[in-house]
Structure 1
Amino acid sequence: MNSRAAIKIMLWLFTAVTLFHLCIILKLIPYEITWGGRLENDSEMYVFESLSILLNVFLILMLLIKGKFIRQMLSIRVVNIILWAFLFLFGLNTIGNLFAKTYFEKSFAVLTLASSILIWIILKEKSSKPITLK
């Protein structure tokens, strides 16, 4: 799989994840099945879900820049550093999901592991050498 395909898969995946978190905020999905079953009230849910949506939208933005779907607002070096941070975060999240209280949340370990692999594919592909004028 090439980097471009991995980016497209990640964009679809995290658009769906963002919609999932919006459904939790709208109370279409009960928050008790998320965050390892540790949220105790609506206030906590709104904070955690809002943070999650912001992080997902930020990741989507970085992927759009990396895939050259939008104008480059940050250097590719900065985007790559941010993607490495997300790779680390997804690795930790995979472990955390395995120890969640609910089976629903445990199943998200597959999603976070897949995200780690896809980001690895995106980061490992070397960009073409810059064109130099002689």
Structure 2
Amino acid sequence: MNTKQSRFAIVSLLVLNTAVLLFHIAIVTKIAPYNIAWGGSLKTDSEMYVFEAISILINLLFSFTLLIKGNFIRPLLSSKTVQVLLWIFFVIYALNTVGNLFAVTSFEKYFAILTFLFAFLIGLIIFKKKLS
């Protein structure tokens, strides 16, 4: 990975994903109310803990994938596996953008901007050879 564009995208995504992880931790610790997340569909604390645990694990996997792709840590996954994971995250964030546009709360609708940015930056990483 040699391009400045990909490096910028990876570092930007790591910073943004850290902020997202902190947001999810704020929900788990009840600093932020969970009714502003998940389309307002969570009704109980136990539902919130399950959904937030899954979300935190997925976001940690995403950060781990980015750290490998950016050569910040020793690759524990093959480059093909990392590329497949990036494609999966690209699709997830693209679909999540559409979902956020139709969210119940205005707060979550604004997250469409963030998820679009995630998809765009992942796209820069995936398609770097075509962009160079």
Partner of 1:132: none
Whether 2:56 is the aligned partner of 1:66: answer: no
User: Which residue among 31, 45, 48 is the counterpart of 2:34?
Assistant: 31
Deviations 1:83-121 (A, max 9, x none): 000000001101111111100011100000000000000
The alignment partner of 2:104 has SS state of: coil
Q: Which has the higher helix share?
A: 2
Partner of 1:44: 47
- CA shift for structure 1 position 43: 0.7
Partner of 2:86: 83
Deviations 1:2-28 (A, max 9, x none): 000000000000011001100100000
Q: Extract unaligned runs of 5+ from structure 2.
A: none
Deviations 1:26-53 (A, max 9, x none): 0000001110111111011000011100
1:7 partner amino acid: I
Q: CA RMSD in A?
A: 0.8
Q: Distance in 1 between matches of 2:54 and 2:110?
A: 21
- CA shift for structure 1 position 77: 1.0
User: Which residue among 57, 60, 79 is the counterpart of 2:60?
Assistant: 57
Whether 2:116 is the aligned partner of 1:121: answer: no
Q: Distance in 1 between matches of 2:103 and 2:48?
A: 16
Q: Distance in 2 between matches of 1:72 and 1:26?
A: 32
Structure 1 stretches of at least 4 aligned residues deviating more than 2 Å after TM superposition: none
- CA shift for structure 1 position 67: 0.2
Whether 2:118 is the aligned partner of 1:110: answer: no
Whether 2:15 is the aligned partner of 1:15: answer: no
Q: Distance in 1 between matches of 2:59 and 2:122?
A: 14
In percent, how many aligned pairs have the same letter? Answer: 53
Equivalent pairs counted in the alignment come to 126
Q: Extract unaligned runs of 5+ from structure 1.
A: 127-134
Structure label with greater radius of gyration: 1
